[in-house]
Amino acid sequence: MKNRKPVELYSMAIEVTRRCNMACPHCLRGEAQGINIDTKYIDQALEHIEFIDSLTFTGGEPTLNLDAIRYTLEVCKARNIRVGSFYIVTNGKGSTSAMLASVLQAAGYRVGLYTSPFILRFNERMQINGLD
């Protein structure tokens, strides 16, 4: 295999699952599928990457496959792939997002959280490290 120049990406999205715990009428996928991404595809996708400005985890409900999210971040760390920010798209409850945000913040990440709708004040929708 030829030596390849490392790649820098502005944006990368990884569909970590097609499992979903909701039946949203707006979903274009139709019925949820019980499929998770195989880690070999994550390895292949990250093979020649050295920087990703924005990494997005998506799928039916990405929080149903936290192992793939954890694996991806571990691969990035092991291969010294710099990630400017990452975003987990959920269609779950605010409690799921708040829990993920607190876990990531405890792990030392700077965490931005956006939830909708707001409960008491509009600006509580947008938080950085728990501060709105």
pLDDT reported for residue 121: 75
* Unique residue bearing structure tokens 């709708």: 117
CA 117: distance to chain centroid? 20
Averaged over 55-74, what is the pLDDT?
Answer: 85
Q: Is the per-residue pLDDT at 48 higher than 60? A: yes
* Model pLDDT for residues 74-113, shown as the tens digit of each residue: 999 899 999 888 887 776 666 777 777 887 788 778 888 8
Distances (CA, A) of 105 to 20, 40, 130: 26, 28, 9
* Model pLDDT for residues 10-37, shown as the tens digit of each residue: 888 888 887 776 666 555 555 667 788 9
Q: How much is the pTM?
A: 0.71
